[in-house]
Amino acid sequence: MRIATWNVNSIRSRIDRVTDWLQRADVDVLAMQETKCKDDQFPTMPFAALGYEVVHTGVSQWNGVAIASRVGIDDVAVGFDGQPMWDEASEARALGATCGGVRVWSLYVPNGRTVDSPHYDYKLEWLAALDRTASGWLADDPELPIALVGDWNIAPIDEDVWDVEVFAHSTHVTERERSAFRAIESRFADVVRPFTPGPGTYTYWDYTQLRFPKRQGMRIDFVLGSPALAARVTHAEIARDERKPGKKGTPAPSDHAPVVVDLD
DNA sequence: ATGGTGGAGTATCCA
């Protein structure tokens, strides 16, 4: 089974790119973030035409997460236990579904904006709540195959940003964020990094300043697997080519590339 | 040249 995560930066403007790639890459389960639409605006039909069932949560133009699966969708959960709420759109940052026997969580971790912003504190609270809840799942049953996937808005180690000096006083690289990530990583392993080590291996490139052609990016999208899931991983990759601009006059790519994991 | 990209939705806000 092939699972993937992709911050699509608006599913309505990216629908053709996403469905084209789904077919080309032969993906079974795709978790999406930043769909930037309400539930009734989500383009379900192009997915259905390819044999994918879709669940989505979104209540505004902000956030929005979805899961598309061609191996079934069961036990859907919008948000997780204890998830902190910032506003009415907050719950559209986490969506869980069991697909082909694997519990997949599509996560859009709060950005944090700046270190002195209340959004930064909210980000840390959100990560702590996720850690508590996800730890509880494994305490109940250590054998569960669980994938925590998405845009974590954290660069866990220095080589995950193209220039540490540029990010010196920014979110995504602070010790408190990295510590929160490591806490979750103590039970859920990054199953992608061993197959795509850095430095210079990124999942996101800012739209401005020619960051993509200059290969100046950040690794902030991750697939973290429970022990039972990690044991099944046979391959992983970052689909960097999906970040490339299309032909002149065609819609822009997302600023994130998809991350792909194969399970046996 | 004081910008530079892109998506939301139509004035800015956000990433």
In chain A, domain spans? 2-263
Nucleotides of B under 7 A from a protein CB: 4-9, 14-15
When pLDDT is averaged across residues A54-80 and rounded to a whole number, the result is 97
A91 pLDDT tier (thresholds 50, 70, 90) = confident
**Catalytic choice (A151, A160, A202, A204):** A151
Give the DSSP per-residue string, A123-179.
HHHHHHHHHHHHHHHHHH-TT--EEEEEE-----SGGGBS-TTTTTTSTTS-HHHHH
User: How confident is the model over A209-238, as pLDDT tens digits?
Assistant: 999 999 999 999 999 999 999 999 999 999
pLDDT reported for residue A247: 86
pLDDT reported for residue A51: 98
Q: Taking a C-beta distance cutoff of 8 angstroms, is the pair A205, A145 a contact?
A: no
**Euclidean distance between CA atoms A264 and A254, whole angstroms:** 29
User: How confident is the model over A23-52, as pLDDT tens digits?
Assistant: 999 999 999 999 999 999 999 999 999 999
When pLDDT is averaged across residues A96-120 and rounded to a whole number, the result is 97
Query: Quick one: tokens of A97?
Result: 């579904």
One-letter identity of residue A257: A
CATH class of A2-263: alpha beta
pTM of the model: 0.97
**Euclidean distance between CA atoms A65 and A91, whole angstroms:** 9
pLDDT reported for residue A248: 82
Q: Distance from residue A19 (CA) to nucleotide B10 (C1'), in Å?
A: 29
Which residues of the protein are close to the nucleic strand B, CB under 7 angstroms? A 9-10, 12-13, 36-37, 61-62, 110-111, 113, 119, 207-209, 245, 251-252
**A52 Cβ contact list (under 8 Å, min separation 6):** A22, A30, A68, A69, A70
